[in-house]
Structure 1
Amino acid sequence: MRRIFSLILLLPFLVCSQESDTTKKRNSFVVFPAISYAPETDLQLGAVGIWVLNNEDNFQSGFQRQSTLTPYFVYTLKKQSIAVANLDYYFPNGQNLNTAVRYYNFPDSYFGIGNDNDPDVSEKYTNRFFQVDGQYLIPVNEKVFIGGAYDAHFTNIVNVQEAGLLDSQRPIGIDGGNLFGVGPAFRYDTRDYTVYPSSGYFISSRIVFNALGDFDYTTYVADARKFINLKDKKHILAFQFRAQFTSGADVPFYKLPQLGGDERLRGIANASLYRDRQMMYTQVEYRRPLFWRFGMTVFSGVGDVAYSPNDFDLTEFKYIVGVGGRLSLIPDKQLNARLDIGVGRGGQTGIYIGVSEAF
């Protein structure tokens, strides 16, 4: 998908807070209409909802770990649709369910596999899939969690151009397929706040053995973050390193690690531009308030994809720099809407709209 321009308007529509009891614990719910346009989709209409629970009664007395539910739906004039519900729920005993349910009937672009694809050479196809993935974690203490991860993915690839790039290369998964994987998960979490942390560490890892269904491979993910409070919990320096590796010869192309998008190296022209069996990147971000409900951020990052870990070459790494604006949606929950503009290697650009921070 060659992004020319995308304008997304998020307008506050409804904000309500509910007092749950006399201790003044508050749950907040907000709904926004979403209107956007992109050349590949035409006009997009939808809605985004955010529900934040305070969770002050759970056993994590030293940390504010709030539960959030974020559903959204988008429909375009080209009859494309996407529906997603993200849930991050902390039970009173500290156990955590972090899961996402997704349905996509949406166009995508295939640029090939590798780290040197041309952003101007791609092919449109439609990826229809239903996915449920996430993890369930049990606390060992207030900082350490262990548990299991899962991924169920049911895919149908349609509208492939005859004799086109995708049809000619015929990567694994071109006919779609089903997979189900499970494996162990670990988390070390000392963030002072989950929605908008100002200090602490977040280190997580998981291994997913995809041994059921039409494919047989293993995914390894490691994610390490550090947050530094520079001044009054308002000026924050955030770091992240993330790696995703795969093993096994049977990885469908649409499940290969990808570089780019609204969370990883914002500034790469398309989230599908660079994909391969291995991926790693690091990024840093400075966040600060401005006035009223507005804030800003500046960020940079570097990373790449490769066929094997030995194939990473520092001279080929992709880099990005960018700036972003923030609008506080629920001030007492520190939940922001964000608009980020990134510039990448070779003059690539990306515009991103989202809710909550990239990491």
Structure 2
Amino acid sequence: MNPRIYTLPLVETKEAESLGAQNKKNGFLASPFVFFKPDTDLLFGGLGVYYFRLKTNENFKQETRLSFVQTIFEYSLKDQMDIQLGANIFLPNESYIAKGFFRFKVFPDVFYGVGNNTPDENAEHYNHNIFIANTSLARKLAPGVFLGLEYRYANTYNIDFDEPTSEVLDNVTGINGGVNSGLGLIFTIDKRDNVVNATKGYFLEFSKYVYAPKLGSSFSFSNVNLTFNKYFDLGKKQILATNTVANLNSGDPSFLFMAQAGGERILRSYPMNRFRDKNFVGTQVEYRRHLFWRFGMVGFAGLGDVFDTTDQLSWQRVKYSYGLGLRVMLNRQERLNFRLDYGIGRDSRSVYVTVTEAF
């Protein structure tokens, strides 16, 4: 388990004034934090979320679903830095969805090799710089149905392994850095009642990306993703949510952009860098219940794994995760939650602190 100590005082502001006659209500959430890990020493930073709803004009009563812009800043006493900016914006009438994600990172990481059975002794510690810029625009075809394009760019450089060993790093694509540049098609059916904390409906998204030298990429590969979420209202403020994910690659992707098992969204308990391979499939279920006032709890469990070919999947190695979580509703109208999760997996435990649900 990665030991972390967080302090998270949360500040919320609301603005009554409209921004260019575009939104009736909006708000801002801010949270400073601090924690300690051996590879970062003391690390501190902050998280901010600005949320809003758009409408066509003052005479147009129908508002879009919730849009948000989120930023995260981290800095350690070892001069390590991670800056992230993400946005999910429903344009007026939800005729388009615009999304963006930008990240600059100067941070340590660990590579254990490729595969779903790599031993802890394989750990290769390294530092690297990476700049990521992903942008997409999708057009509404029908209510809740969207088709769009996304461009993904990532430049990885200054990769420096502490004590490189040939047994782990031989024949691994991307250990010297390079550019990932790809163009993709996204098809989405979004029938959720709330994009940050759904209680009913479903979400289906299929995407395919092509990375090629003609697009400025150092690597040639294709990537296919499938996500399906379903939400069941059980009554008495109880929700059952399911999530199924597939991330499939063909060609020769950089090791940094292979499919990964773990993180704060699926298979909570495993660090995202622990297991990598060309493909990942996983599924999870989460029970959500309101307790009292602004407090709620969740219980979750999931299965999944990375693999190159399907014959590498086995019950003896499959990754599982289960755990409990605490929820504090920061904004009742928008159902925006503060999330604290504790996940347990196969020889792995982790704590996650963030805003918005895992899915």
Q: Same fold (TM over 0.5)?
A: yes
How far, CA to CA, are the matches of 1:321 and 1:111 in structure 2? 23
State the Cα distance separating 1:34 from its structure 2 match. 1.7
How far, CA to CA, are the matches of 1:166 and 1:14 in structure 2? 51
For the 8 Å contact 1:14–1:32, the answer to whether it is kept is no
2:249 corresponds to which residue? 246
State the Cα distance separating 1:61 from its structure 2 match. 9.1
For the 8 Å contact 1:49–1:71, the answer to whether it is kept is yes
* Deviates further, 159-168 or 252-261: 159-168
* Deviates further, 21-30 or 147-156: 21-30
Instruction: Identify the match of residue 261 of structure 1 among 248, 260, 263.
Output: 263
State the Cα distance separating 1:311 from its structure 2 match. 3.4
**SS state of the match for residue 9, structure 1?**
coil
How far, CA to CA, are the matches of 2:167 and 2:130 in structure 1? 18
Q: How many residues align?
A: 352
**SS state of the match for residue 175, structure 2?**
coil
How far, CA to CA, are the matches of 2:171 and 2:22 in structure 1? 60
For the 8 Å contact 2:64–2:93, the answer to whether it is kept is no
* Deviates further, 171-180 or 12-21: 12-21
> Letter of the aligned partner of 1:13 in structure 2?
V
1:324 corresponds to which residue? 325
How far, CA to CA, are the matches of 1:16 and 1:272 in structure 2? 38
For the 8 Å contact 2:179–2:219, the answer to whether it is kept is yes
Q: Does 1:281 align with 2:279?
A: no
* Deviates further, 185-194 or 18-27: 18-27
Q: Deviations over 1:288-325 (max 9, x none)?
A: 12222221110000001111245333443111110011
Q: Deviations over 1:91-144 (max 9, x none)?
A: 104200122111111111111110012245412111211011243110001121
> Letter of the aligned partner of 2:175 in structure 1?
I
Q: Does 1:217 align with 2:221?
A: yes
How far, CA to CA, are the matches of 1:165 and 1:355 in structure 2? 40
Q: Deviations over 1:198-251 (max 9, x none)?
A: 00010001100001321110000000000111115x311110000000011x21
Q: How does 1:60-71 map to 2 (within 5 A)?
A: 65-71=65-71
State the Cα distance separating 1:158 from its structure 2 match. 2.3
TM-score calculated relative to the size of structure 2: 0.92
State the Cα distance separating 1:71 from its structure 2 match. 0.8
Q: How does 1:48-67 map to 2 (within 5 A)?
A: 48-55=47-54, 65-67=65-67
Change (3 A) 1:286 1:300: same
Q: Does 1:11 align with 2:13?
A: no
State the Cα distance separating 1:161 from its structure 2 match. 2.6
How far, CA to CA, are the matches of 2:45 and 2:5 in structure 1? 14
Change (3 A) 1:63 1:24: closer
Change (3 A) 1:296 1:19: farther
* Deviates further, 166-175 or 100-109: 166-175
Q: How does 1:119-158 map to 2 (within 5 A)?
A: 119=120, 121-158=122-159
State the Cα distance separating 1:62 from its structure 2 match. 9.0
> Letter of the aligned partner of 1:35 in structure 2?
V
Change (3 A) 1:191 1:162: same
Change (3 A) 1:319 1:162: closer
State the Cα distance separating 1:167 from its structure 2 match. 6.8
State the Cα distance separating 1:29 from its structure 2 match. 1.0
Q: Does 1:236 align with 2:276?
A: no
State the Cα distance separating 1:42 from its structure 2 match. 1.3
**SS state of the match for residue 8, structure 1?**
coil
Change (3 A) 1:80 1:23: closer
Q: Deviations over 1:75-95 (max 9, x none)?
A: 011110000011000110420
Q: How does 1:21-32 map to 2 (within 5 A)?
A: 25-32=24-31
RMSD: 2.3
> Letter of the aligned partner of 1:318 in structure 2?
K
2:109 corresponds to which residue? 108
How far, CA to CA, are the matches of 1:342 and 1:128 in structure 2? 29
**SS state of the match for residue 6, structure 2?**
strand
**SS state of the match for residue 7, structure 2?**
strand
How far, CA to CA, are the matches of 1:210 and 1:24 in structure 2? 38
How far, CA to CA, are the matches of 1:179 and 1:118 in structure 2? 28
Instruction: List gaps (5 residues or longer) in structure 1.
Output: none
Change (3 A) 1:12 1:24: same
How far, CA to CA, are the matches of 2:175 and 2:22 in structure 1? 55
